[in-house]
Amino acid sequence: MDCSLAADRWNDLATRILDGHELTVDEGLAILQSDDDEILDLLAATYRVRRKHFGKRVHLYFLKNAKSGLCPEDCGYCSQSILSEADIPRYALLNEAKLMEGAERAVASQARTYCIVASGRGPSNREVDHIAQTVTKIKEKYGLHICCCLGLLQPEQAETLQKAGVDRINHNLNTSRTFHDTICSTHTYEDRLKTLKAVRNAGMELCSGLIVGMGESEQDLVDVAFELRGLGVHSTPVNFLHSIDGTPLERKWDLNPRYCMKTLCMFRMANPAVELRVSGGREVNLRSMQAMSLYAANSMFVSDYLTTKGQPAEDDFKMVADLGFEIVIGDHDAYQAWKASQNGCQSAPESEVHQHTTCHG
């Protein structure tokens, strides 16, 4: 397509979305199928939508890996599943002292949200009670925004967590309804939807996203974007498959940075006011185009992931600064602290630049 026509095409779409138009299936597919030569025009148009709702701000999120491995589910992408032979840490749910220690580190890093993540099909009532009691103490002592990712939840468990002060639950759809059974057989797509509905009914915010690059079609990606739109999620993490040795999807590397960028653009256009997070696998799939992803996304995880390494957090700070954007962690401005440290005025707290983050949250 002629460059000027491509620019007009995507700018027209952005204008209509800013005026209240909802992205259609055909438009979503057109974004994913667009020529690589159009990517700068597409990204520029997408940035108009991102800037309208989030300005130049980038939100960073940190977590506590509260329970690792020991999962009976057979999700093909996951290093913690029962099928995985990957060499990863395996431990039961952490005690209160360890979870409180994580909250203290979150405060030291100026994080607004403390994410508590546990592997497994879903928590036992005893585990939910343990987390709920600890969250109440965290709220009383630190006043942090709390997000939990605990697997499948029963309605009464969601209510217990909400009453304890949990603000948000992360539970990813991971893929479309039609592709779900290809990657997992031990729970259904409907099981995941039931958890999200239980969370909504309990009065907590919804955080739900997907993993790109597992063999799904372009239609699958559009279907997920529209499903999330229908659910009215508050936050969508977009993960890109980081193929891990020892998992059923080992040595699967189908993605390239340009397609990853188009996917982010499609999700921003489909859900213009939703916090869009560029998440697990960004370093190995976006590579030198990582910074450009923030013209579509307004949030990211930094440093290491649950079972894979990310780039140093200092590099993320530099990346955002080079864009002329500002890093905001909760109600604090981490970028200014980092900038001051670069000028020799002060050093950023160690906990601020060495926190670990989520794998596919």
Length of the chain, please?
A: 361
Q: Of all residues in the chain, what percent are helix, strand and coil, respectively (each to 5)?
A: 45, 15, 40
Residue type, 38: E
Which of 9, 75, 112, 282 is catalytic? The answer is 75
Which DSSP letter does residue 186 get? S
Catalytic annotation present for 75: yes
Catalytic annotation present for 115: yes
Which of 9, 50, 78, 148 is catalytic? The answer is 78
Which helix H or strand E contains 133, and what residues bound it?
A: helix 125-142
End-to-end CA distance of the chain: 37
Which of 50, 112, 192, 277 is catalytic? The answer is 277
Catalytic annotation present for 147: yes
Which helix H or strand E contains 116, and what residues bound it?
A: strand 113-118
Which DSSP letter does residue 122 get? S
Catalytic annotation present for 71: yes
Which of 148, 184, 207, 260 is catalytic? The answer is 207
Which of 105, 147, 149, 260 is catalytic? The answer is 147
Candidates 210, 209, 212; CA nearest to 286 is 212
The residue with tokens 């940190």 is 62
Using CA atoms of 355, 283, 188, 185 in order, give the dihedral in degrees to the nearest 10: -110
Catalytic annotation present for 207: yes
Which of 71, 184, 265, 359 is catalytic? The answer is 71
Candidates 150, 160, 143; CA nearest to 203 is 160
Which of 115, 184, 265, 359 is catalytic? The answer is 115
What are the distances in angstroms from CA 76 to CA 150, 215, 218, 303? 18, 11, 19, 24
Q: Please, are residues 338 and 97 in contact by the beta-carbon 8 Å criterion?
A: no
So which residues are the catalytic ones?
A: 71, 75, 78, 115, 147, 207, 277
